[in-house]
Amino acid sequence: MKICVLGSGTWGSAIANLLAYRGYEVFCYSHKESEASQLNLTHRHKNLPDALLSEAITFSSDLKASLQGAKTIVFATPSSYIRETARLVKPFFENQLIVDLAKGIEEGTLLTTSEIIEDELGNKDEVVALTGPSHAEEVSLFHPTCIVAASKNEANAKKVQEIFHCSFFRVYTNNDRKGCELCGAFKNIIAVACGISDGLGYGDNAKAALITRGIHELGKLGKAMGCNPTTFSSLAGVGDLIVTCTSAHSRNHQAGYYIGEGYSIDEAIRKVGMVVEGVNALPAAKELCDKYRIDMPIVYGVYQIIEGKETARNIASNLLSRAKKEEFLE
C-alpha cells in the first residue's frame, strides 16, 4: 500500500521512516525541490542528526506524483500551513484515509487542524488525529513510544492503529478527537511557559506547578467545549504535556527558555530554528478562553509576554499573588 506523507520536516520524516519500516511504499512530499533531492541523496535530515532514514522512502517535490495511487495521506506540515496544503490536495482527493499530525487551532475560525482539513476536503468527521507524547528525534531512532489515533469515526481510527502500530510504536484509539486536539495545541503554550520559568532560573517546583495547573486550565476549557474529561489525563493530555514541557527536544520549551533569558520573541524563534507552535497557537487560544469565558491565567500570562504587554518576571509574580483559592475550585 502506498502512503503519502505531506511535509518533510522532522516529524514528517520520522513518521515516513516508521512507515517504511512497516513495509509500506512511502512518498514524502517537500515543497522544496532542493530539500527533496538532498534527502534522497543522503537519507539524513538536518534536525535528526542521529537517524539514518530508510532508502525505501521517496522524497519528492511533485505533489501529484506523491499523491497518485496513495491510499492514505498523512498531513505533517506546521499548523499554519494546513489549510493551504489541504487546498492543494483537494483536486487529488478521492476519499483516501486522512491522518493529521499537526497540532494547533486556527485563529478566527477556532477550528482544530483536523477540522480545517475536513473543511477544505468535505470529509466531515473522517480525519484521524495522530497525537501524543512523540518526539520526532526518538521515533526516528525507533525508541519506545505510545500515541493516540483519535477520530469520531471509530473504523478510521482502527485503520490508522493497524497501519502505524508496531513493536516500538504503540497506538491506542480514542473517540474524543476534539479533546485530544485541544491538548495538542495548548500543551505547546504550557511548554513555552515552562521554558520561560527555566530561563528565569526557577526550579522544578515552578515547572511542576505550571504543568499541573496547566492541565487543570485545559480541563476546564475542555469541559466547557463538551470534551471527555478523561482525555486530559491521557497520553494526549498529561502525557504530551509532560514530554513537551520537560524535554530538551521540545522546541516550545527551548523558545520559552530563551525568552526567559531575555531574548526577544523573534530572537528566540530564530535561535530555535524551527516552527514554534506554542507561539502560533496563542491568538486562537485567547479567543477560545474569551469565547467560553474560562479563566486560564497561565495561557493568558504567556499571551501577555509574547505580545510584549508584560515582563516574564512580572507575570510569574502575578500568578503567585492572585487571590487564594481551593485547588479544584473552577
In the predicted model, residues of the chain with pLDDT beneath 50 are none
pLDDT score for 328 = 79
Question: Under the phi-then-psi rule, with left for phi > 0, alpha for psi from -120 to 50, and beta for the rest, what region is 271?
Answer: alpha
The distance of Cα 121 from the centroid of its chain, to the nearest Å, equals 21
pLDDT score for 330 = 63
124 is an active site residue: no
Select which of 159, 178, 187, 286 is catalytic.
Answer: 187
Burial status of residue 168 (CB atoms within 10 A of its CB: 0-12, 13-18, 19 or more)? middle
pLDDT score for 303 = 95
pLDDT score for 179 = 97
Burial 74-104 (b: 16+ CB within 10 A, else e): bbbbbbbbbbebbebbeeebeebbbbbbbbb
- Whole-prediction pTM: 0.94
Structural domains of the chain, ranges and CATH numbers in brackets: 2-175 (3.40.50.720), 185-320 (1.10.1040.10)
